[in-house]
């Protein structure tokens, strides 16, 4: 009976992990605990250990619910490790014994078998498909969503990309309502990746919701993040989309948070993108640029192509730069040169040029947004800036304590704001993208080609989604204690700050989770109850977010709450 309850939780995929953590803190039998631990190992991509534990456990089991549930996980782990012969053997065993599998486990098995069948075998091979006539699979959103994705893969294998796209869209809509984050992202990733070399414009359209739901549902070090950022980066690069540079920045920041072993594994999976990141990532400082051959040759070429009436800099300065006599060039000087030219934006542009275009775009938006920001009440300024700070990876470069003090004393001066602070203030006034996946199928009449005159760097949907999450937390946070909360946060070390940020993000993620059976719904543990009450947080998202933490991380969060 307990296993049946836990398999119901698996309809959320990894999103159900904190609920399973909560169950583990209650009375569970050893078999159910082992099943949960194996699931978590699989989600943490420890595939070798998954197989080792399953082989040890399965030898003691009769062929019932747990046996087939574990065998299904083993099938997926073997696939990840590319152990093809063993994959085929287990596929055959599960298919041949499908009629003996208990009904409540069949949905999990069907999903695994259909996906493996379409990933491993060409449509003309003799390997039979799994039949699934039961209406129960049609009525179960989790089963139906993944079966639709398997059907989509079959159509893709047959070269029927339009049909494959429609099936993935249908799967996305169904799994979004569950919600099943891994399935949501997989369906969108399939569309973008499969269309990358077929219809790159539509592939780019779908990279927007992919980036949005990636930021909305997943922590920075989740495997899904890297796989999908790889897709987004490659699709944007193929389309010469300026957002590519922000994707590269996000990718690099997420990559910096994983250990060496994990990083090496990711290089095998996303090696092409990872190797290209260093050519696309830049900071927003005002340091001089090196006068490289690539930079001056491009400028020289564009000057020869376009007659400059008023270069805005002295002829000597320009000639010294173009001849290579000067070894460095001021940012302001480079911007003046660029302003007198007109050229298309593509992925081969020298980074100093892209950087100056980005800074120019920030300046243009900041002129208006700083005024809007200063019209807000001080309390709202604090709340909005702190939200923007928590969402962006630029926070590592912002002196939060100084900005907060300037806001509180009403002495924030526009000219003294660096580019990171400006970008965070601009973000406050960026609109959240409206996502209608059906409209994304409409082809652009003409693929947008940006020039340095009309380029704008829109906010990445990854950040837009995370703003929604943080705003839910900030809305509930007792405004009387807002300043104290921010001050306590500032006083934490880097690791502790990341723990608090993780809690806040997950508070937003689980804010509206509905239809959780009563026996799965965590209660706020006594260790953090004073913290939850003091800051007037909602109890259900607080409790679930608490159970996202495991082991030492959970103990550390309790200690932080006590200090708050």
Q: What is the 3-state secondary structure (H, E, C) of 301-320?
A: HHHHHCCCCCCCCCHHHHHH
The H or E element containing residue 343 is none
CB atoms within 10 A of CB 103: 10
List Cα–Cα distances, 503 to 227, 402, 408, in angstroms. Answer: 24, 24, 26
Q: How far apart are CA 404 and CA 543, in angstroms?
A: 30
Residues with pLDDT less than 70, the chain: 1-2, 120-139, 306-311, 443-449
Closest CA to 506 of 544, 558, 475, 555: 544
Tokens found for residue 426? 């601009």
Q: Phi/psi of residue 220, each to 5°?
A: -60, -30
Residue 49 burial by Cβ neighbours in a 10 Å radius (0-12, 13-18, 19+): middle
Tokens found for residue 132? 């699934």
Q: How far apart are CA 345 and CA 233, in angstroms?
A: 16
Q: Are 86 and 78 in contact (CB under 8 A)?
A: yes
Beta strands in 312-466 (DSSP E): 328-329
List Cα–Cα distances, 83 to 44, 275, 319, in angstroms. Answer: 19, 27, 62
Q: Are 13 and 182 in contact (CB under 8 A)?
A: yes
CB atoms within 10 A of CB 303: 16
List Cα–Cα distances, 343 to 59, 234, 315, 316, in angstroms. Answer: 67, 23, 21, 24
Residues in contact with 80: Cβ distance below 8 Å, sequence separation at least 6, in sequence order? 45, 47
pLDDT of residue 195: 93
Tokens found for residue 80? 């990840």
Q: Could you tell me how many residues make up the chain?
A: 564
pLDDT of residue 557: 92
Q: How far apart are CA 6 and CA 1, in angstroms?
A: 9
Cis-peptide, bond into residue 26, ω within 30° of zero = no
pLDDT of residue 133: 46
Q: Which residue has the tokens 């891994």?
A: 182
The H or E element containing residue 289 is strand 289-290
Q: What 8-state DSSP symbol labels residue 324?
A: T
Q: What 8-state DSSP symbol labels residue 524?
A: P
Most distant CA atoms of the chain, gap in Å: 86
- In three-state secondary structure terms, 430 is coil
Q: Are 391 and 426 in contact (CB under 8 A)?
A: no
pLDDT of residue 445: 41
Q: What 8-state DSSP symbol labels residue 220?
A: T
Residues in contact with 57: Cβ distance below 8 Å, sequence separation at least 6, in sequence order? 34, 38, 70
Residue 242 C-alpha from the chain's centroid: 18
Long-range CB contact pairs, 394-400, < 8 A, 24+: 394/284, 394/420, 394/423, 394/424, 395/424, 397/283, 397/284, 398/424, 400/490
Residue 181 C-alpha from the chain's centroid: 11
C-alpha radius of gyration, the chain, whole number: 26
Tokens found for residue 84? 């093809």
The H or E element containing residue 483 is helix 482-490
Q: How far apart are CA 210 and CA 224, in angstroms?
A: 11
pLDDT of residue 97: 85
Beta partners for residue 511, in sequence order? none
Residues in contact with 380: Cβ distance below 8 Å, sequence separation at least 6, in sequence order? none
pLDDT of residue 98: 81
- Look up the pTM and report it: 0.90
Q: How far apart are CA 141 and CA 60, in angstroms?
A: 33
Tokens found for residue 396? 């590592």
């Amino acid at each position: 009976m307990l296993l049946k309850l836990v398999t119901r939780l698996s309809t959320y995929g990894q999103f159900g992990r904190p609920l399973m953590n909560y169950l583990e803190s209650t009375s569970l039998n050893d078999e159910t605990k082992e099943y949960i631990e194996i699931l978590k190992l699989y989600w943490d991509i420890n595939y070798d250990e998954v197989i080792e534990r399953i082989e040890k456990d399965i030898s003691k089991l009769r062929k019932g619910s747990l046996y087939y549930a574990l065998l299904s996980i083993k099938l997926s782990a073997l696939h990840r490790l590319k152990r093809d012969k063993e994959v085929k053997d287990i596929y055959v065993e599960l298919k041949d014994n499908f009629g003996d599998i208990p009904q409540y486990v069949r949905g999990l098995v069907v999903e695994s078998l259909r996906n493996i069948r379409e990933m491993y075998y060409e449509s003309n091979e003799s390997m039979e498909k799994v039949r699934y006539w039961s209406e129960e699979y049609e009525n179960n959103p989790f089963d139906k969503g993944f079966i639709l994705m398997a059907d989509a893969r079959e159509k893709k294998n047959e070269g029927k990309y339009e049909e494959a796209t429609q099936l993935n869209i249908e799967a996305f809509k169904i799994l979004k309502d569950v919600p099943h984050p891994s399935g949501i992202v997989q369906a969108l990733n399939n569309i973008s990746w499969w269309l990358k070399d077929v219809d790159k414009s539509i592939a780019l359209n779908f990279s927007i919701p992919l980036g949005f739901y990636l930021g909305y549902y997943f922590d920075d070090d989740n495997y899904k993040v890297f796989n999908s950022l790889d897709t987004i980066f490659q699709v944007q690069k193929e389309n010469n989309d300026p957002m590519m540079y922000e994707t590269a920045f996000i990718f690099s920041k997420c990559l910096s948070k994983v250990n060496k072993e994990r990083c090496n594994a990711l290089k095998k999976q996303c090696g092409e993108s990872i190797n290209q990141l260093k050519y696309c990532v830049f900071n927003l400082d005002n340091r001089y640029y090196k006068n490289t051959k690539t930079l001056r040759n491009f400028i020289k070429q564009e000057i020869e192509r376009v007659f400059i009436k008023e270069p805005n800099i002295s002829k000597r300065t320009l000639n010294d730069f173009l001849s290579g006599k000067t070894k460095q060039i001021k940012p302001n000087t480079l911007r003046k040169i660029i302003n007198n030219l007109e050229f298309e934006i593509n992925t081969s542009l020298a980074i100093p040029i892209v950087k100056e275009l980005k800074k120019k775009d920030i300046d243009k938006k900041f002129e208006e947004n700083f005024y809007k920001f200063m019209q807000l009440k001080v309390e709202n300024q604090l709340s909005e800036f702190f939200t923007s700070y928590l969402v962006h990876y630029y926070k590592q470069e912002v002196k939060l304590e100084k900005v907060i003090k300037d806001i509180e004393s009403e002495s924030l001066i526009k000219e003294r704001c660096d580019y990171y602070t400006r970008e965070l203030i601009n973000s406050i006034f960026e609109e959240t993208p409206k996502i209608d996946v059906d409209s994304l199928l409409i082809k652009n009449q003409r693929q947008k080609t940006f020039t340095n005159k009309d380029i704008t760097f829109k906010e990445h949907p990854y950040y837009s989604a995370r703003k929604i999450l943080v705003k839910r937390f900030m809305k509930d946070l007792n405004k009387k204690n807002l300043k104290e909360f921010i001050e306590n946060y500032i006083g934490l070390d880097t690791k502790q700050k990341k723990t608090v940020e993780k809690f806040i993000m997950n508070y937003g993620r689980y804010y509206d989770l509905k239809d959780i059976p009563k026996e799965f719904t965590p209660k706020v543990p006594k260790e953090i109850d004073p913290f939850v009450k003091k800051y007037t947080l909602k109890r259900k998202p607080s409790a679930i977010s608490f159970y996202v933490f495991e082991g030492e991380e959970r103990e550390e969060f309790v200690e932080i709450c006590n200090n708050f």
